[in-house]
Structure 1
Amino acid sequence: MPKKKPSSKSMIVSFQEPAPSIPDKSPIVVGKGGEISISIQVKPGAKTDAITDVSDTAVGVQISAPPVDGEANTAIVKYFAELLKVKKTDVSLKGGKSRQKTILVAPTAALTVDGVLALLKSEQQQR
């Protein structure tokens, strides 16, 4: 039996648009659920609340609250909620007693990785 030539319909190739480019090294990433994850390095017991550094691996944060009974963790959540202009209930914290923590921000239409990174860098420069 002779072989059939492939029809032109079966030769259609579809192209997908490339995903938006996110830098390979960034302390801010988008999770599977759309939440924004920010890796932070915390210095509790400082004089003021501020962003001290934005590097490829983490965002340096100093918090005036002492690291006692979760006071610093509560202050971090409040500080990031005010900074990102979201409700405190939209911000959560992972990391417990460690100085390396992760801030999780619930997905909102107003926040993007680039927008959060720019906001953190401008906050750092105001210091």
Structure 2
Amino acid sequence: MAPGKSRQKDSKIGDVAVKDEAALALRKDGSIEIRVHAKPGAKVSKVTDVGAEQIGVSIAAPPRDGEANEELIRHLRQVLGVAKSEINFDKGAKSRSKVIVVSSKQQLTIEQVIEKLKADAN
């Protein structure tokens, strides 16, 4: 391998083989990291794409004064069935690419999260 190049590991999440930069990842503390591509200004809040690198989410709120972020968290809470205190931003509060952390008391698995996100996308 050439110097400066890194090797990405393949892993499997559900039925999808993904690289290190996966849309969903399990953290050491047991929480689940979700990489989201937010699309504010939509008519309805909905998961639009469950991809290998990011989860696309349309948000029925404008991207100002934190309205879209609040709606994104509210919608993901509803889809995943978690409490408000169990879902937070890790990165990207001012960007369309966001990292959200879910630390559910029900110990959701990555497969369960994928199922719930795909159900909302249909």
Deviation per CA, 1:29-80: give whole Å up to 9, x if none. Answer: 1111111111010000110000001111000000011110111111111111
Task: Quote the sequence identity (%).
Answer: 38
Q: 1:104 matched to which residue of 2?
A: 101
State how many pairs are aligned. 105
Q: TM-score normalized by structure 2?
A: 0.80
In structure 2, do the counterparts of structure 1 residues 95 and 30 end up closer, same or farther at CA, with 3 Å as the change threshold?
A: same
Is the Cα–Cα contact under 8 Å of residues 82 and 104 in structure 2 kept in the other structure? no
Cα offset for 1:82?
A: 1.0
Q: Which amino acid aligns with 2:85?
A: T
Question: Does 2:77 align with 1:76?
Answer: no
> Unmatched 5+ residue regions in structure 2?
1-10
SS of equivalent to 1:117: helix
**Cα 1:59/1:118, change in 2 over 3 Å:** same
What residue is the counterpart of 1:32 in the other structure? 28
SS at match of 1:46: coil
Residue pairs, 1:6-85, within 5 angstroms: 22-23=12-13, 25=18, 26-85=22-81
TM-score calculated relative to the size of structure 1:
0.77
Hey, which of these two has a bigger chunk of strand by percent? 2
Runs of at least 4 residues off by over 2 Å? 21-24, 107-110
CA distance in 1, matches of 2:97, 2:28: 21
* Distance apart, 1:107 and its partner CA: 3.8
Aligned mates of 2:60, 2:106 — CA distance in 1: 31
